[in-house]
Amino acid sequence: MTQYYQLKGVIVMKTYQLVLTAGAMLAIGGTGMKTATAKTPQKIVSNRTMTTPAATRNVVPTGRNALYSKAGFMRSKKTVASMATMKRLASSTNSRDYFRVYQIATTNKGAVYYKMVSFDGKYRGWVYGGRTAGNFAGGLKTAQTTQQESLPLVLRGYSLGGGGNDLWNAPQWTQYKAAKRSWAGYRAGDTFVIRDAVTKTREGSLYYLVTDERDSAVHGWIYAAGLEAPAEAQPEMPTTTTTYVTVVYKDSAGQTVGSYLWNIPEADFRPQANKVAGARMQDVLNTTVSLWDVAKQNVPAGHTFTSSSTPEAEKVVLGGTFTITVK
């Protein structure tokens, strides 16, 4: 009996040891499982330059995120503009404080970061932009730097007046690196035709897109106060003969990318047509098809005419504008 119990004790002890061994194996296995599912560190998996039209990448900070030298999750980042600074820029009334986005990075966690630079070049860095590539969210949002305005009734005969006589490829500070255009070709006494009108969203200042009537190579945006209206410019609709229409080309963001002044040939008019500013094209032209042909033939370089460019040509008037969207 004694031997039996000793044997039984041995068996029991051996069984107990086996159970401990199994438990140890489970513990080891459990540790291994936890290690395998540990949190994966965030990292950049895509980083590229954006190629969408520049004007569609104009943004303004929201003030919800700071601007850093690197993506915000990186330990080696440095603060370029604090949240307080970004909030101040968000409510700025100066167009210099808009930003242009030019680079996009995404992480393995689905976060999106954008690199951007302020229009005045003072701030440049990365900001969190939400979780959908190409959709500005988080620390930035899309900005409309200008607002469309109605054209004056009188479009021709403007001369240079007081200060602000610089010509720009876009109203000053409404695009990143907006630049002055050359006055080469201008002669004293030249007059201008107005082709488009916008106000700067933040300042409210009015700008006209003008072309020298003698030399069309002299053209650009000018501060409205820099022009002097012709003597015949009156509130009433002018009755002088008008035989032109301005075709204005805009991109998907609503920014003007070019224009063309079409002096309508006599053959395109109906007999006895009343050629005065404000006369509807459908009332004075043989067909509005000719207007479409001119628009298609003079699309600015680097852009294309699409089937989606379908404004109602019948609503265009002599001396007015025909605006179409191009790619």
Residue range 17-70, pLDDT digits in tens? 444 444 444 343 444 444 433 589 999 999 999 999 999 999 999 999 999 999
% pLDDT > 90, the chain: 52
Domains of the chain: 44-142 (2.30.30), 145-236 (2.30.30), 237-327 (no CATH)
Tokens representing 212 are 């020298």
Q: pLDDT (tens digit, 9 = 90+) per residue, 300-320?
A: 877 887 754 455 666 777 777
Q: Which of 7, 119, 108, 121 is nearest to 59 (CA)?
A: 119
- Tell me the whole-structure pTM to 2 decimals: 0.64
CA distances for 166 relative to 100, 171, 176, 221, angstroms: 23, 10, 17, 8
Lowest mean pLDDT among 83-92, 103-112, 296-305: 296-305
156: enclosing H helix or E strand: none
- Each residue of 110-146: b (16+ CB within 10 Å) or e? ebbbbbbbbbeeebbbbbbbbeeeeebbbbbbebebb
CB neighbours of 156 closer than 8 A, spacing ≥ 6? 191, 192, 193, 194, 213, 230
Closest CA to 298 of 271, 270, 326, 279: 326
